[in-house]
């Protein structure tokens, strides 16, 4: 009688017992992706279930009945028996129940509530339904008896759920299981049993509502909520920009991590997308383009390859704006059609009013959305990167993920407390702590927690780990011996009342400091479980820098010298120059400074005929830096901003110089030295890879004046190979492929033979280490 070839065949109808099995099968599909099943729909009012062919399957002549084609067409009837059969064979991880051996007590409790519903709630509520709606004669006694008995059984459920529980079985507050799936489809149609409201049983009402919303959502509807949440997060944080292909957007959604707990109203964790869900994801995007609670999405279907592109996303102008003015507004979910009219009365009329109001208050289309289909396609083509640009981006992308997200609650205790509070609102309990990095406070005898966090945290002068840094020079009063850990002299760091230097010298800082709190069991027991991404080999010789080919990178080279008097002509020409000058900010600093005139007189022009200059400037020196670029013969073409964060990943607000706004960020001016074409436009060096990186770096501060390491990667991607020099560097700045000049570097190290020869000829007294390479 039935067609199809899926593993399971379900004979069912629109009744509570029929819904139970359908709900569980959908839960299994959402959790495991299987089993798939065919449905043979039966209208019990026609008595199809009493026909001989059905009696052969189920002698009781009732629905539901399950046929397991994958197990030699094994037949199971009776609702509770079907649920337990499906759990035994298809719920391998016991996500919806308990193991009868290792969790014997919980399994027994689950069976008790299954049989309670099977022998009590179902028969009594069914009799109330019959005598109040279908009995051929009016029998007041029967009506009252079964209504009262239904209410009594609801009271039993209320007693169980009022014991600080969310679900009927399981430890603690309970676990969503077959016990709940088996009873709540009956509670959902309480009005059919002449029980008009569940207000008398508040805990039962809350649990029934959560389960009903969960049960009536298909996998696609759940994924739609997941997609909506992910899109809102990605676009509001500007991690994604349009236009973007559906495949690229899907990969970003997957990479953004699991959906937040509590996204769905029910007890289960939200489903996640896979790369094989591209067609489903595109269908969701097209659906959201017709109406999105968080704004407006414009999509375009490609004519040639049938691909989908998200052209534009506007936040804050969608259906969500109607929420405050429309009654009962919330997430719009599709409900299953109930042939026996078991759904709550009046919902359809209310929904119709909401839809009519939405039609009247549609947001105005965006400029992009108002374009014709042909113009949208032209816009999409113009916004796409070139094939060369895409190859360069792929060639220079990071091979590993070095980003370690930090918990916003800082400590494990605060994280656990926040998750406990969140789990009270969500339907399922969250893990004790999240899988992000946490910190523990360092409580020393002199620490006063009431003072709060130290403004400098791990860069506070009184922190023992700060004094161990090899790049910290001594104070001016202690320079006669040498440069701290490098020069063999002692390191003398001022400290005080949490100001990292203010207050009585040598007084320990009394504010709170932190260290990383990581245990072997955190994050699945692995400090970093990410695997490196293998790059594809490219045969096209593009983006390889000035030489046009891959070259062997020299080890770090450096020259220790007085930068104001050194003869720069012996160094030769460079493709890239980076400088972090000691600008004079008219304050006492633990290093020497240079005046503005000394900076203008620097012989930078002798180092380049064509190339790029990256110049770090302070707030006061920003205009002086721009002037220096002009004096040296450069054209400023960009500006990289370093947004500074502290140990706890908060934005820096204070510093030792007193200029508060200066400490939030720092600027690096980008200048180019080149020629212009006939039209007066700059001709960028042909070897420069442009458009690969952003011009904003968010990175943690370290020692005084130390810049983020990310800037080296940015420059090396822009100019692979070639000669690079850093001026005003210190020991921590030395890097393969770079020549570093500074006065705190120690004995010279040179590997370029011709450079070593020129220096030796100019400065015969200088010892040079390194030799050939």
Give 304: exposed, middle or buried? Use CB within 10 Å, 0-12, 13-18, 19+.
exposed
Query: Which contiguous run of DSSP H or E holds residue 180?
Result: helix 178-188
| Secondary structure of 232-261 as H, E, C letters | HHHHHCCCCCCCEEHHHHHHHHHHCCCCCC
Residues 6+ apart with CB under 8 A from 263: 225, 226, 229, 270
pLDDT at 323 (0 to 100): 36
Instruction: Quote the CA–CA distance of 544 and 391 in Å, as a whole number.
Output: 12
pLDDT at 543 (0 to 100): 75
Whether pLDDT at 432 is above 90: no
Whether pLDDT at 348 is above 50: no
Torsion sign, CA atoms 154, 160, 163, 167? negative
Give the residue from 751, 716, 589, 607 showing the smallest Cα distance to 657.
589
Detail the DSSP E strand segments found in 494-634: 513-516, 557-560, 576-579, 611-617
Q: Give the distance from CA 30 to its chain's centroid.
A: 22
In degrees and rounded to multiples of 5, residue 764 shows phi and psi of -65, -20
Tokens of 265: 């109203």
Instruction: Quote the CA–CA distance of 672 and 678 in Å, as a whole number.
Output: 18
Residues 6+ apart with CB under 8 A from 365: 296
Q: Return the higher-pLDDT residue of 461 and 240.
A: 240
Residue that the structure tokens 């420069």 belong to: 688
Average pLDDT value for residue range 540-544: 71
pLDDT at 44 (0 to 100): 84
Average pLDDT value for residue range 214-219: 64
Instruction: Quote the CA–CA distance of 765 and 773 in Å, as a whole number.
Output: 23
Q: Are strands 74-77 and 244-245 parallel, antiparallel or unpaired?
A: unpaired
pLDDT at 581 (0 to 100): 93
Instruction: Please give the CATH topology (third level) of the domain spanning 8-215.
Output: Glutathione S-transferase Yfyf (Class Pi); Chain A, domain 2 (1.20.1050)
Instruction: Quote the CA–CA distance of 495 and 513 in Å, as a whole number.
Output: 14
Whether pLDDT at 608 is above 90: yes
Q: Which pLDDT band, with edges at 50, 70 and 90, does 402 fall under?
A: low
The mean of the pLDDT values for the chain is 79
Instruction: Quote the CA–CA distance of 131 and 143 in Å, as a whole number.
Output: 6
pLDDT at 549 (0 to 100): 83
Query: Which contiguous run of DSSP H or E holds residue 698?
Result: strand 696-700
Q: What is the pLDDT of residues 164-200, one digit of tens each?
A: 888 888 988 888 889 988 888 888 888 888 988 888 8
Q: Return the higher-pLDDT residue of 342 and 391.
A: 391
Q: Which pLDDT band, with edges at 50, 70 and 90, does 771 fall under?
A: low
Q: What is the DSSP string of 462-492?
A: T-HHHHT-TTPPPPGGGTTT-SHHHHTPPP-
Homologous superfamily of domain range 557-770: Vaccinia Virus protein VP39 (3.40.50.150)
pLDDT at 670 (0 to 100): 96
Q: Return the higher-pLDDT residue of 680 and 686.
A: 686
Q: Return the higher-pLDDT residue of 11 and 476.
A: 11
Tokens of 770: 């390194």
Instruction: Quote the CA–CA distance of 724 and 613 in Å, as a whole number.
Output: 10
Q: Which pLDDT band, with edges at 50, 70 and 90, does 489 fall under?
A: very low
Lowest mean pLDDT among 128-137, 358-367, 384-393: 358-367
C-alpha distances out from residue 516 to 404, 462, 612, Å: 12, 18, 39
**Whether 62 contacts 77, CB under 8 Å:** yes
Give 196: exposed, middle or buried? Use CB within 10 Å, 0-12, 13-18, 19+.
exposed
Q: What is the pLDDT of residues 550-568, one digit of tens each?
A: 888 999 999 999 998 999 9
**Whether 748 contacts 768, CB under 8 Å:** yes
Q: Return the higher-pLDDT residue of 613 and 420.
A: 613
Residue that the structure tokens 């023992």 belong to: 464
Q: What is the pLDDT of residues 736-756, one digit of tens each?
A: 999 999 998 989 999 999 999
Tokens of 429: 């309990």
**Whether 464 contacts 542, CB under 8 Å:** no
Q: Which pLDDT band, with edges at 50, 70 and 90, does 657 fall under?
A: low
Q: Return the higher-pLDDT residue of 362 and 741.
A: 741
Cis peptide before 243 (omega within 30 of 0): yes
Q: Return the higher-pLDDT residue of 29 and 423.
A: 29
Lowest mean pLDDT among 122-136, 282-296, 392-406: 392-406
Instruction: Quote the CA–CA distance of 19 and 32 in Å, as a whole number.
Output: 20
Q: Where are the domains of the chain?
A: 8-215, 219-335+357-384, 557-770
Whether pLDDT at 580 is above 70: yes
Average pLDDT value for residue range 435-439: 88
Q: Are strands 724-727 and 738-742 parallel, antiparallel or unpaired?
A: parallel
Q: Which pLDDT band, with edges at 50, 70 and 90, does 427 fall under?
A: very low
Lowest mean pLDDT among 130-144, 315-329, 358-372, 459-473: 315-329
Going by the DSSP 8-state scheme, the letter that residue 190 receives in this structure is G
pLDDT at 266 (0 to 100): 58
Q: Which pLDDT band, with edges at 50, 70 and 90, does 396 fall under?
A: confident
Same fold, 8-215 and 557-770: no
Torsion sign, CA atoms 571, 574, 578, 579? positive
Give 320: exposed, middle or buried? Use CB within 10 Å, 0-12, 13-18, 19+.
middle
Q: For the chain, what's the residue count?
A: 773
Lowest mean pLDDT among 113-127, 355-369, 681-695: 355-369
Q: What is the pLDDT of residues 10-64, one digit of tens each?
A: 999 888 888 889 888 988 887 887 788 999 988 888 888 899 999 999 999 998 9
Q: What is the pLDDT of residues 99-153, one digit of tens each?
A: 999 999 999 999 999 999 888 888 998 888 889 888 889 999 998 999 999 899 9
Give the residue from 513, 490, 500 showing the smallest Cα distance to 462.
500
Give, to the nearest 10 degrees, the angle between helix 219-236 and helix 16-32. 50
Q: Which pLDDT band, with edges at 50, 70 and 90, does 611 fall under?
A: very high
Going by the DSSP 8-state scheme, the letter that residue 371 receives in this structure is S
């Amino acid at each position: 009688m039935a067609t199809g070839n899926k593993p399971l065949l379900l004979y069912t109808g629109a009744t509570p017992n029929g819904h139970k099995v359908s709900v569980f099968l959908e839960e299994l599909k959402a959790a495991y992706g299987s089993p798939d099943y065919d449905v043979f729909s039966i209208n019990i009012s026609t008595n199809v279930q009493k026909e001989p062919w059905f009696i052969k399957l189920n002698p009781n002549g009732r629905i539901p009945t399950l046929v397991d084609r994958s197990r030699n067409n094994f037949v199971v009837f009776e609702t509770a028996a079907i649920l337990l059969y499906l759990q035994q064979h298809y719920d391998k991880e016991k996500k919806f129940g308990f193991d009868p051996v290792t969790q014997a007590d919980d399994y027994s409790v689950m069976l008790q509530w299954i049989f309670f519903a099977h022998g009590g709630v179902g028969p009594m509520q069914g009799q109330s339904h019959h005598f109040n709606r279908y009995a051929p004669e009016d029998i007041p006694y029967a009506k009252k008896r079964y209504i009262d008995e239904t209410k009594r059984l609801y009271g039993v459920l209320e007693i169980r759920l009022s014991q600080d529980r969310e679900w009927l079985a399981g430890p603690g507050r309970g676990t969503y299981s077959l016990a709940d799936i088996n009873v709540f489809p009956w509670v959902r149609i309480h009005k059919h049993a002449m029980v008009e409201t569940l207000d008398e049983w508040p805990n039962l009402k809350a649990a029934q509502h959560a389960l009903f919303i969960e049960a009536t959502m298909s996998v696609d509807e759940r994924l739609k909520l997941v997609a909506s949440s992910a899109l809102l997060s990605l676009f509001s944080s500007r991690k994604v920009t349009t236009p973007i292909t559906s495949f690229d957007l899907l990969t970003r959604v997957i990479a953004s991590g699991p959906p937040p707990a509590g996204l769905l109203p029910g007890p289960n964790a939200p489903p996640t997308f896979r790369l094989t869900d591209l067609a489903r994801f595109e269908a969701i995007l097209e659906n959201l383009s017709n109406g999105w609670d968080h704004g407006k999405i414009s999509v375009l279907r490609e004519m040639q390859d049938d691909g989908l592109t998200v052209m534009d996303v506007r936040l804050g102008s969608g259906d969500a704006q109607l929420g405050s003015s429309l009654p009962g507004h919330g997430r719009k979910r599709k409900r299953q059609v109930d042939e026996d009219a078991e759904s709550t009365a009046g919902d359809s009329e209310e929904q119709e009013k909401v839809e009519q109001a939405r039609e009247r208050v549609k947001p105005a289309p965006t400029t992009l959305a108002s374009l014709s289909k042909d113009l949208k396609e032209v816009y999409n083509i113009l916004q796409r990167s070139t094939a060369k640009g895409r190859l360069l981006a792929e060639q220079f992308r990071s091979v590993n993920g070095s980003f370690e997200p930090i918990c916003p609650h800082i400590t494990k205790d605060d994280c656990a407390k926040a998750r406990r509070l969140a789990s009270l609102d969500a339907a399922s309990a969250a893990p004790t702590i999240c899988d992000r990095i946490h910190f523990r406070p360092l409580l020393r005898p002199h620490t006063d927690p009431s003072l709060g966090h130290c403004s400098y945290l791990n860069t506070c002068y009184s922190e023992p780990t700060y004094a161990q840094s090899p790049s910290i020079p001594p104070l001016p009063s202690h320079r006669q011996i040498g440069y701290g850990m490098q020069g063999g002299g002692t390191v003398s760091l001022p400290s005080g009342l949490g100001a990292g230097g203010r207050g009585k010298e040598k007084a320990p800082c009394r504010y709170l400091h932190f260290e990383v709190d990581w245990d072997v069991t955190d994050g699945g027991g692995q400090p970093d479980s990410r695997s490196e991404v293998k790059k594809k080999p490219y045969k096209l010789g593009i983006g390889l820098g000035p030489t046009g080919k891959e070259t062997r990178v020299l080890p770090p080279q450096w020259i220790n010298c007085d930068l104001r008097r050194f003869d720069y002509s012996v160094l030769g020409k460079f493709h890239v120059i980076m400088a972090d000058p000691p600008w004079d900010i008219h304050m006492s600093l633990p290093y020497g400074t240079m005046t503005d005139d000394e900076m203008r007189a620097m012989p930078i022009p002798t180092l380049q005929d064509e190339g790029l200059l990256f110049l770090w400037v302070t707030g006061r020196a920003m205009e002086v830096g721009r002037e220096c670029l002009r004096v040296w013969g450069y054209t400023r073409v960009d500006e990289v901003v370093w947004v500074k964060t502290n140990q706890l990943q908060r934005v820096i607000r204070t510093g030792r110089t007193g200029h508060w706004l200066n400490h939030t960020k720092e600027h690096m001016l980008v200048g180019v030295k080149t020629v212009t074409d006939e039209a007066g436009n700059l001709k960028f060096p042909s070897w420069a890879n442009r458009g690969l990186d952003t011009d904003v770096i968010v990175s943690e501060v370290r020692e005084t004046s130390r810049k983020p390491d990310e800037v080296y990667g940015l420059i090396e991607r822009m100019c692979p190979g070639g000669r690079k020099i850093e001026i005003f560097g210190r020991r921590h700045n030395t890097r393969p492929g770079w020549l570093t000049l500074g006065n705190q570097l120690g004995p010279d190290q040179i590997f370029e033979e011709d450079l070593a020869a020129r220096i030796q000829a100019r400065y015969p007294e200088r010892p040079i280490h390194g030799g050939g390479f």
